[in-house]
Structure 1
Amino acid sequence: MINNRIFSQIERLRLHPNEQIIITHYEQVTGNSFKRFDLLALKEAVQSATPAQIMNAISTLHKKYPERYTHFSYVNPYLRIYKKNRKGDKNE
């Protein structure tokens, strides 16, 4: 069974620089450490939005709902909305 442990510095160096920036921002804003299971949510988020949009969503959600914002995957539904608006699919 895979354990949900904290991401090490060596594992972070293997990631894309944009992903490293997002992880650093997430840890600074929320105070939570980035876990291994959050990596799947991060990969999905990077495909659907730009790093600036992701960091903006992290800051906004943590400011509005700090008690509910306990892991990184909480931001993904909001990033899907960004993707729809960016592609022009507002009615779907």
Structure 2
Amino acid sequence: CVYRFAEERKMIAYSLEDILSEKGKTYLTKEGIKLAEKIREIYTAQEESFEKLKKYLRKTQYEKELKELDAVLKQMRKEYRLNQA
């Protein structure tokens, strides 16, 4: 379970990197991009957890971006699972 979570974190971090690196094409607002960069930072840092990330988002009141990002992450997970099948 811990291994699977680590793999999923890696997959999400790479996917965020892909989204951020696509020139002129992004699924996020400017604030969302800043948020995604912060999230990528957190996801790639081993000592950080998803719960800490959620607390950070709530503390900084990025509710809209959190919802937007959740939608993107759900879509990425769905696509990832389809590609694994």
Q: TM-score, normalised by structure 2?
A: 0.30
Q: Which structure would you say has the larger Rg?
A: 1
